[in-house]
Amino acid sequence: MRRKMNYLSFVVMMCFVGQANAYNHEHEKTGKQSGKPKPTATTKAANCAPANYRKTMDFNDVSCQLETGGLLFLDRANGLATYTVPKKKGSETVVTTIYAGALWMGGVDTNGLLKIAAVKFREGNDFWPGPLSVDFGSGNFDPSIPQGDNTKRDYGAGTIDPDQCLLYDNIFTITKAGVVQFITWMECTTGDCPQPSNETMAQINAWPGNGDVGRGQDQFLAPFHDNDNDMFYEPEDGDYPWYDDILGRNEVQCGVDRRVTLFGDITNWWVFNDKGNIHTESQGDPIGMEIHAQAFAFATDDEINKMTFYNYELINRGNQTLFNTYFSQYIDADLGNYNDDYAGCDVTRGLSYMYNGDLNDEPNSGRPGFGQNPPAIGVDFFEGPYQDVDGLDNPGPVFDSVTKKWNIPEVADAIANKGIVYKGLGIGYGDTIPDNERYGMRNFTIYTGQNAPTGQADPESSTQFYNYMRGLWQFGDQLYYGGTGFPGAPCVTSIPTNYMFPANSDTLHWATAGVNPGFDWSEFEPCGSGSTSNPSGDRRFVQ
């Protein structure tokens, strides 16, 4: 049986910069790990108050709430979802699609101690606003010239004072059109160019281009074009928030230059960290990570008008190098009625999605459903962290312009040489340029929020968060192909997999290291064609 689904989507983009080692052990998941993380130690932290600032992004046909404490989309004060697409018009009833989302990260240090930062609904706190302290000149980052794979941002003690957490409890908004008008006005030679509006001038003047080096912060925070190359953000000297794709000024070469500029027609920028206080959500030891976040959107007349985008620049400001490091996007996508959903993924595209468990999305707990033929919503892990430097152009699909066909590496060869077999699983593979490869979605795990079976529920400890990030179950059990994916459940095979419910998307069997399981696997048909569907529920996923 085919299900008719309207398709809505939003795209998640990630960028990794810093010294944490983002190495992902694909196809080696056994439920155990070499160098098993030791219990986390108690770490002295700053005494920052929890983040409070919230802002609604309401630019195209999507409306959603952002906040500075590492959580997206959830109106915590009222316990309500805010991600709405299409957004409310007039007196229409609002039906939301995503309840909550967040960035998770974790790895182990040289002593085997697990360091982690993650939130689900901010029942506790792992993130606080503001930049961390560094030793000036400890890195080699220079935003005035292209930056390669040897780039290091300044690092040091990686601490922050409470007043700085409070100062940066803010989200800074700018528009591309406003920046273009500012540049045109500043460079005007005819004297008849209109000055930007007071709102645009206030946004440009308030842009946090520099940290306070007197407080040990990095010289460079929010991206800006330094017109006179003096390293200081001064709009009166012609400096401006840096969109690279405006007025023909394309300075950043994609795939080579690692400088991060601004994206979107509207951009929301903020900075947060995991050292502002004790981690009360994951119960984990802090990393010393500083995150520069962008939430952005485009106004178009096509499907992009129903999408929002997120870019994270992750900078390890501490003195410790992390190994077996993972960065994941967590999503609790409630399509109207939160308790009747299914989830799955398209391996070829690196795309996860949520859809309704039947053809009618009923109201639940006083909240409206979508009714007949409910939509689906997708999350695209578009540009992940850079792969470890190895001096190689790691293999990937390459289009032959002579034969007009794709040359695709064998699964075994791609695994052995840290490559990919689908274009949607990364960027920079097989393009002849060494060390510009960026991960896409390398695992996809689903669990149930309410009434979940043992070992398949919400994470409650640092190790459990880390297990889900590594593509394992809550207590470290291996994920297997078929059924619910949990060991011992009906029709679960003995074939390990990195992706749950790929349906018919994985024709090369990348998820199972080249092993053909013999049937397509989805929540609708978990044991193959004609099998009984899984019970629907409150699904959450980690990718």
**Mean of per-residue pLDDT scores for the chain:** 89
Render 186-222 in DSSP notation, one character per residue.
HT-SSS-PPPPPHHHHHHHHT---S--GGGT--S--S
pLDDT in tens, 165-186: 999 999 999 999 999 999 999 9
Looking at the whole model, is its pTM more than 0.85? yes
360 or 409, higher pLDDT: 409
CA 380-537-336 angle, to 5 degrees, is 65
pLDDT in tens, 426-466: 999 999 999 999 999 999 999 999 889 999 999 999 999 99
Sequence spans of domains, the chain: 7-30+54-335+375-380, 398-434
Cis check for the bond before 397: say yes or no (omega within 30 of 0).
Answer: no
Measuring CA to CA, which residue among 532, 261, 381 is closest to residue 10?
381
pLDDT in tens, 490-540: 999 999 999 999 999 999 999 999 999 999 999 999 999 999 999 999 999
Residue with tokens 């960035």: 103
Q: Is the pLDDT of residue 26 over 60?
A: no
44 pLDDT band (50/70/90 cuts)?
low
Measuring CA to CA, which residue among 238, 275, 242 is closest to residue 259?
242
